Amino acid sequence: MADVESFEKLKATQQLLKASLEKSTALSSAIDETGSRLEGMKQRLPSLEAAMRPITMQRCGYSAIRDQINGAIGPAAAVLKAYDVVRELEKSLSFASCSDLPAYLSATKRLEEALRFLADNCELATQWLQDIVEFLEGSAFANDRSLLSVKKALRILQELHAIEGSARHDGGLLNEAFNELEAEFIISLMESSATTITSIASSPLSVLVIQKLQAIVERLNAADRLEKCIFVYAEARSLSARRSLQALDLDYLEIEITEFVDRQSIDSCIDQWGKHLELVVKHLLELEYKLCNNVFEKVGSDAWKCCFARISQEFRLASFLQFGTNVTKMKKDPIKLLKLLDIFTVMENLRLNFNRLFGGKACDEIQTLTRDLIKRVVIGACEILWELPSQVELQRRFSPPSDGGVPGLVSFITNYYNKLLGDDYRPSLIQVLQIHQSWKQDVYDDGDDDALSHQIYSTMKEVGLNLDAWSKAYEDISLSYLFMMNNHCHFSQMKGTHLGDIMGDSWLEAHEKYKDYYAALYLRESWGKLLPLLSQKGLISFPFDHQDFDNKLLKAFNEAFDERYKKHSNWVISDEGLRQKVCQLLVQAVVPVYRSYMHKYGVLVEQDASGSKYIKHTAQSLEKMLSSLFQPKIGKYSSTKHIRFIGKLKNVVMNQLHVSLTAM
């Protein structure tokens, strides 16, 4: 029967089956021809005994020859009986078919055993006869007619001994029987696989089909004819695997990292990657593993694990692992750390599955790719974490926000650490640290949690140093105070967060006190100098005539107020609660004094015909203006810096840390 070269298409399988059936049709005639030849051999076998008996009757004086002859007669008789069995089984197989698989398997097994028994006894009888021939040729019987009969019998035994080998060769009876079993294996497997896509819920092959395949595999394995079945099985299940994967959109596995448009598209692909890999490993490959084990469980693990390894390749496992490796090669930034931890979490959840499914030697490639991916993830994640304090320090050279708000770096760091310390990432991060430190044999005495805490302390220390440097960069001391008030407020609000828990209550309380301290400094420095203009203390500053004193005093107040209001309208207080509180304090400090002034000096101002032009604000309008201060200007400063940053980076994979700075 022609060898199977490819089973990716059912047409190739059909051609294989057709060839097998054509040879099966010729089986009957082959058996008849073999039977006729063997029948002739059988008819000549009785001459063996006739050739030896005259020798036993002669008184030759050589007693040893009698023992040689007696030893040859027993195996020769066994040969005759074995031949009878072989002939009977030939007739049985000529009328049998795989439709009754148990009977066909039984007949094939008995035929193989009978042929082996025949060959063994032929070999034994041949050895005895060869000894007799050698003895007779060197004695007085060298020219005896009986010697010729013994030699003839020896040739017959040698022909019979070759029957087993001939039966296993192409065209041989046993070979054809094995071909029939292989064909039946292919038919049963392909009929079940042709229209079946691997399902998550159930086995793709029925119990009856599995039992049928098991029986055929066991028989062919005993005859050392399993290789073709393994090849066919792997091809059939691989075809099913390819059909199963067609339902998934796996094009992203072939995309180079540099081809992604933006980070959002990368994140989306990583999320898909995790879901798809879990589906393939925990469900599709798990079913294939169990099925392969069931079909080939009686032939040893090496055979079926090699078969499973070939099937695994069709599920693109190597491509999945390579995609994860490509992510590890992305430009380093804090967000990449989260993505690496996402990959680690997926791989950790699948670790037991990987160890069980791909633990054998046949899956060496998958093992190597997996180890390489984990190594890259662990080292890459730790490098980003260790470098974060120095990356924060590098941002110190940049200017602070012109509006006195919370820098993008500060917001990013606090949000980033809260996310990193959350339940989604912290367990994986701790495990990554443990693995990395075990490789370096550099385990912290106080444990991995303290190692992480130490790194966070270092980062927050650098953030604090950045704030001190930035606060000194403002020319207006009032804006510097506002800036520090905003940032201390931001840190004090970390109470109840993951970062706040790490930093501790004393850290939180200190920021709360500094917030109030800088708020008081801001109010005194910015608005405290305005109020004396409306009191008797302001008289010294205005050497005006008594007549127009009130008008010019009010004019000076209006100018000072408007100048402050215009400037401070461009400043922000990020926290709404703090903004309302500061505005309320301003209203309480300024409006009552202004209202009192207008009530006390309003009559005098109104008596002057030109005095009304100096009344620019009412107490109500001042309160409204002061209450509207410090509103955030969303996007006012981020646009130009964002563009500048993108131009500098020249890479679609943006550095999230620097991007956060664009909000400054």
What CATH number corresponds to the domain at position 375? 1.20.1280.170
**3-state SS, residue 543:** coil
- Residue 116's domain comprises 12-170
Considering the domain architecture, whether residues 268 and 299 belong to the same structural domain is answered as yes
Residue closest to 297 by CA, chosen among 240, 382, 213, 176: 213
The continuous run of DSSP H or E covering 36 comes out as helix 27-44
Looking at the domain assignment, is residue 433 inside a domain?
no
Out of 121, 148, 170, pick the residue that ends a domain.
Answer: 170
Same domain, 268 and 367: yes
- Does a structural domain hold residue 427? no
Rounded Cα–Cα distance for residues 532 and 534 (Å) = 5
Q: Please tell me the predicted confidence (pLDDT) of residue 303.
A: 79
Token readout for 538 is: 């302001």
Among candidate residues 661, 636, 525, the one with its CA nearest the CA of residue 570 = 636
Of 170, 205, 239, the residue that ends a domain is 170
Question: ∠394-397-398 over CA atoms, to 5°?
Answer: 105
Q: How far apart are the first and last CA of the chain?
A: 78
User: Residue written as tokens 């120095």?
Assistant: 390
Tell me which residue of 245, 265, 130, 129 sits closest to 198, measured CA to CA: 245
Residue 54 in domain: yes
Residue 250 falls inside a structural domain? yes
Same domain, 117 and 193: no
- The DSSP secondary-structure symbol of 315 reads T
Number of domains, the chain = 2
Give the pLDDT confidence score for residue 447 in this predicted structure.
Answer: 56
Question: How far is C-alpha 282 from the geometric centre of its chain's CA atoms?
Answer: 11
Do 106 and 209 share a domain, yes or no?
no
Residue in the structure block whose two tokens are 């200007």: 633
**pLDDT for res 29:** 46
Query: Do 248 and 342 reside in the same domain of the chain?
Result: yes
Domain contains 628: no
Same domain, 201 and 312: yes
Q: What is the DSSP string of 92-146?
A: HHHH--GGGHHHHHHHHHHHHHHHHHHHHHHHHHHHHHHHHHHHHHTSTTTT-HH
Same domain, 39 and 101: yes
At 451 the pLDDT is 87
Residue with tokens 């190594």: 375
Please tell me whether residues 109 and 161 are part of one structural domain: yes
On whether residue 610 sits in a domain, the answer given is no
CA 532 to each of CA 421, 536, 561, 609: distance values in angstroms, whole numbers, following the listed order: 51, 7, 12, 26
Domain boundary among 356, 390, 424: 390
Q: pLDDT of 193-204, one tens digit each?
A: 665 556 655 667
User: How far apart are the C-alpha atoms of 73 and 125, rounded to whole Å?
Assistant: 8
- 363/267 same-domain check: yes
**Quick one: tokens of 556?**
């000076």
Q: Is 267 among the domain residues? A: yes
Please check whether residues 36 and 63 belong to one and the same domain: yes
Report if residue 192 sits inside a domain. yes
Model-wide pTM > 0.85: no
357/228 same-domain check:
yes
Q: Note whether 255 and 375 are same-domain residues.
A: yes
Nearest to 285 by CA among 251, 241, 320: 241
Mean pLDDT by 10 residues, the chain (664 residues): 40 43 42 48 52 47 54 59 64 62 76 68 61 61 56 58 52 73 85 63 78 88 84 88 86 78 77 94 92 87 85 92 93 92 97 93 93 97 95 94 95 96 95 91 60 94 97 96 97 96 96 96 90 61 51 82 93 94 93 85 58 77 93 57 34 38 39
Q: Which amino acid is at 291?
A: L
Structure tokens at 175: 């070979």
